[in-house]
Amino acid sequence: MARIAAVQLRADRGLEGNLEDAGYWLDRAAGAGAELVVLPENFAYFGNDNLAAAGATESFGAAPARNFLSKKARQLGIWLVGGTLPLFARDQQPVADLPLRKQPKPYAACLLVNPDGVEVARYHKMHLFDVSVSDENAGPDARDNGRRYRESDNYRHGGEPVVAPTPCGVVGLSVCYDLRFPELYRLLVTLGAELLVVPSAFTATTGAAHWLPLLRARAIENQCFVIGANLADRAHPKTPTWGGSVIIDPWGSIVDQLEADPGILVADMDRARLEKLRRDMPVLEHRRFEIVKAE
């Protein structure tokens, strides 16, 4: 039995304020016995209009958010999934004499930090949110109706799935818009994932319609625990986010869920139950198609 947790944030106070808020809720999750905690996507830099500069700072400079993740994981003795941060590739260096605002685009990088404060895994978000949100049936909460999102204007596409062993099971890393691509999750499970983490900044419109059904589907079809840690600010004037952070078991049952306020979710992950479900209903053994990665 392992205790897992999700943190839900607004992320509307700038870098220092966002890190302070994240630290507050991480302390409470650890105090509730959580061994692995997931922060939302872009928990530190949401709303920042120069992600290349932020990425350069995090990759080659003072790295305030990365140092925060390392410090909190070490201080609290937890495994920490650090939402996402803008980061450049490890072997990439800033272009000489080029202003930060004109540097190449970073990745949206999801870091897994161990209780020693060491980054043991790093996933670059593969699917970038380049869409127009205009659902005439979205209802009165659709504050972002008609809005066009172009995540690829600020980020590069990642290219590799990532899983990592932890005391809570093998973790499969994914981010937000990835949730709409079930083939990624089947590949993560093929690689051994038992716990799927989905740090997110789902919009208010798409979140109301699709957030929970997609998360439950990924849990059911892959027989995995799922943690969806979302930003929550449904009234934001420019980029409203849905919230609704949730922990789901391999049967697709909601273990616990938040609504629209900041907070934490804590739940026990029973790996024995997961293993029994996979034995009793061996869906993964009944597959008739192989996952073939596109070149």
- The Cβ of residue 240 has, within 10 Å, a number of other Cβ atoms equal to 21
SS3 state at 285: helix
Active site residues: 41, 125, 176
SS3 state at 290: coil
**24 vs 84, 241, 250, CA distance in Å?**
18, 21, 30
Contact 106, 87 (CB under 8 A): yes
DSSP conformational letter for 225: E
Q: What is d(CA 62, CA 41) in angstroms, rounded to the nearest whole number?
A: 21
Q: What is d(CA 116, CA 240) in angstroms, rounded to the nearest whole number?
A: 35
Residue in the block written with tokens 């983490």: 197
Where are any strands of DSSP class E within the chain? 2-8, 36-38, 79-81, 85-87, 107-113, 119-124, 130-133, 147-150, 163-166, 169-173, 195-200, 225-230, 232-233, 241-242, 246-248, 254-257, 263-269
